[in-house]
Homo-oligomer: A and B are copies of this chain.
Amino acid sequence: MSYKVAVAGCTGYAGGEVLRLLLQHPEVEIGALTGNSSVGDRLGAHQPHLAPLAERVVVETSAENLAGHDVVFLALPHGKSAAVAERLGDDVLVVDAGADFRLADAADWEKFYGSPHAGTWPYGLPELPGQRERLAGARRIAVPGCYPTAVTLALLPAVAAGLVDPSGVVVVAASGTSGAGKSLKPNLLASEAAGNTSAYGVGGVHRHTPEMVQNLSLVTDQPVNVSFTPMLVPMPRGILATCSAPAAEGVTTAQARAAYALAYADEPFVDLLPEGTWPQTAAVVGSNRVTVQVTVDEVAGRLVAISAEDNLTKGTAGGAVQSMNLALGLPETLGLSTIGVAP
C-alpha cells in the first residue's frame, strides 16, 4: 500500500526536508510539488540535494493541483494554511508545518500572530501524554514549532513529576539559521551570520513562547511561566535548548535522571544520554532523534535540562512524518532514522 503525498511549499527548508524524508519512506509516493514564485522551475534549481526529484516541475498551490492525494503537507508562511486546507476533503490527511493550528487559546494566537485565530488541530508531538491516541486516525495535524519540540521534551518529565516549580522556567535556545527559513533578510546572509551569535525575540515576544506554556501545562496543575530567549548561531541546522526551573525541595540529580529514564524508556526518538554526557546538535543532524540530559544544581537551586534536535527533522519535517505515520496507522518510526550525519 502506498500513499500519494503532495507537498505545498516545496522550495523552502521545511518543504525540502519533508521531501527528503518522504523519499526514504517505503509507503509513500510523491505527488504534486507546489510553490508560488517558483512555479515552472525544476525542483533541482531549489533543492539541489534531492537528486531523485531534480527534474520534477513546481506547480501552483491550488486546490486542483492538490486534489487526488492521500496526504498533503503544508509548508506555507504562517496564516496561509487555513485557506488551502478548507478546500481539501475531510478524508485527506493534512499535515501543517506552519503555526496556524497549534495554539488553543485564541487570545494568545492574536497577541503573538496578529491575525484571527483559525482554530486548533491535533498537535503533532506524539511524546505528549495521550497524544498518540489523538493522532491515530486524525486527518488534520498541526506540527509543533521547532523550539517548542526541543523545550517540551527537555522539561516534560521534570514538570510532570513535580521536580520543579513550573512558574519559573527559563529557556535559552540556540538555533541554526535554517530555523529562520529561506527568507532574504540581511541578517541571514552568510557574511553576517558566519562567526556571529545574536539574540532576537527577547523578553517574551517570540511566538513559540505560548506554545511551550501550553505543552508544559498539560502535565501540571500549577501555573507555567516561561522566560524564553532564542539566539541564532552560525550553523545551518540544530537547536540546543538550555532549560531550567527552580528545583523542588530535596530533588537530586539521581532522582531527576530516574524520572527522565522512566519517561523516555519507550520513546523511539528521545534518548536520555549517559550521565556526564551533554547534548550536542551535530550528533542529531539529519536524524529524528532528540538527546536530553538533566542535572540538579543544588547551589543555585535549579534543575537544568538540555536537549538537542535537528530543527528541520524532529523539529519540523521528522515530527510531521512521525505524526503522519500514526495518523495513517503505519509504524511510528517508518522512514525515520535515529542516525545523524556527522561530522
Q: Does A114 contact B (CB under 8 A)?
A: no
Residues in B with CB closer than 8 Å to A237 are 195, 343
Q: Does A285 contact B (CB under 8 A)?
A: yes
Residues in B with CB closer than 8 Å to A337 are 24
Minimum Cβ distance to chain B for residue A195 (Å): 4
Specify the chain B residue showing the minimal Cβ separation from A280: B198
Q: Does A188 contact B (CB under 8 A)?
A: yes
The answer, among B50, B185, B200, B282, for a CB contact under 8 Å with A192, is: B282
Listed A/B pairs (25) with beta-carbon separation below 8 Å: A16-B343, A48-B342, A49-B282, A49-B339, A51-B339, A51-B340, A52-B338, A174-B233, A176-B195, A177-B191, A180-B191, A184-B184, A195-B236, A196-B280, A196-B282, A198-B278, A199-B240, A202-B304, A203-B295, A225-B300, A225-B301, A227-B297, A233-B233, A236-B342, A286-B286
Q: Are A343 and B191 in contact (CB under 8 A)?
A: yes
Minimum Cβ distance to chain B for residue A326 (Å): 21
Specify the chain B residue showing the minimal Cβ separation from A340: B49
Q: Are B191 and A182 in contact (CB under 8 A)?
A: yes
Q: Are A280 and B184 in contact (CB under 8 A)?
A: no
Q: Are A195 and B282 in contact (CB under 8 A)?
A: yes
The answer, among B191, B200, B285, B300, for a CB contact under 8 Å with A178, is: B191
Name A residues whose Cβ lies closer than 8 Å to a Cβ of B: 13, 16, 20, 23-24, 42, 44-45, 47-52, 54, 168, 170, 172, 174, 176-178, 180, 182, 184-186, 188-200, 202-204, 225-229, 231, 233-238, 240, 242, 244, 246, 253, 271, 274, 277-287, 289, 293, 295-302, 304, 306, 308, 337-343
